[in-house]
Amino acid sequence: MIWKAEKNGRYSVKSGYRICVEEVINNDHLRKPGFWSGIWKLKVPPKVNNLVWRICRDCFPTRVKLRSRGINCPSECVTCADPHEDSYHILFHCQTAVDTWHAANVWHLISQFLSQLDNAPDIMFNLLQKLPSDQMERIVTIMWSIWKVRNLKLWQQVSDSTVTILERAKHLLEGWRTANRKQSRTSEEVASVLPNASHLNEGAIPKWSKP
Ligand SMILES: [Zn+2]
């Protein structure tokens, strides 16, 4: 007897799981149409990609979302006491967010979609499709910072200014970009020193070998 889902013919839980998820169980109801590849193409720290994915997947843990999952918490916005703290409110309606977008000089880019769309996932997909990636990378990192300030207010009673929100986003994105540039330069240097390492891709970490 052989197990066709593995090359070596032996059963593995991993391949069994994959067959269940992809072939046996009908998971069409879980699929949501949208420009998902746009999220993973953004060159931002992974926690920012993850945040955008959560917003688009409609599982961003705002108070309204938590209440819909049976968690007993207030529904008011942590920052401005608006009665309905959902992702649309936090990102595009709350005064903190609007002030931040104005200060970042991108409100005109975002607000063009707000008159046509009323939910955060659709707005995000439109932004991802229509804005250049460097602009979008900055915007989503600022979103992360807006969410961060909301959590700081909730858990540590700290109120950050718009300037601090933007500075935090800038610091995160620039730090991450610098670290990634350094890493790819290091592997280029290694490739030029070691002739047999020239096959290394840019950004790949060279394998350790015995000195
Ligand atoms: Zn608010």
Domain boundaries, the chain: 1-31, 41-197
- Rounded distance from Cα 63 to ligand 1 centre (Å): 11
> In this structure, which residues have their CB less than 5 angstroms from ion ligand 1?
77, 79-80, 82, 94
Q: How many residues does the chain have?
A: 211
- Measure 41 CA to ligand 1 centroid, in angstroms: 30
* Percent of the chain at pLDDT exceeding 70: 90
Give 87-101 pLDDT, tens digit per residue. Answer: 999 999 999 999 999
Residue-wise pLDDT for 147-185, tens only, equals 999 999 999 998 889 999 999 999 999 999 999 887 776
Quick one: which of 190, 185, 184, 182 has its CA closest to 207?
Answer: 190
Span from the CA of 149 to the centroid of ligand 1 (angstroms):
12
Looking at the predicted structure, is the pLDDT value of residue 132 above 80?
yes
Ligand 1 centroid–CA 7 distance in Å is 54
Above 70 in pLDDT, residue 34? yes
Displacement of CA 34 from its chain's centroid (Å): 15
45: CB partners within 8 A, 6+ apart: 141, 172, 173, 176
Better-predicted residue by pLDDT, 197 or 114: 114
- What's the mean per-residue pLDDT of the chain? 89
pTM over 0.85: no
What is the band of 118 on the pLDDT scale with cuts at 50, 70, 90?
confident
Closest CA to 138 of 193, 177, 80, 186: 177
- Distance, CA 203 to ligand 1 centroid (Å)? 40
In this prediction, residue 196 carries a pLDDT of 55
Q: How far is the CA of 61 from the centre of ligand 1 (A)?
A: 15
CA distance 91 to 38: 19
For residue 86, how far is its CA from the centre of ligand 1 (angstroms)? 9
Ligand 1 centroid distance, CA of 33 (Å) = 29
Q: What is the pLDDT of residue 198?
A: 47
Distance 8 CA to ligand 1 centre (A): 56
Average pLDDT over residues 81-85: 91
Q: What is the DSSP letter of 9?
A: S
Helices (H), 57-161: 63-68, 87-88, 95-103, 107-114, 120-130, 133-156
- Between the CA of 88 and the centroid of ligand 1 the distance, in Å, is 10
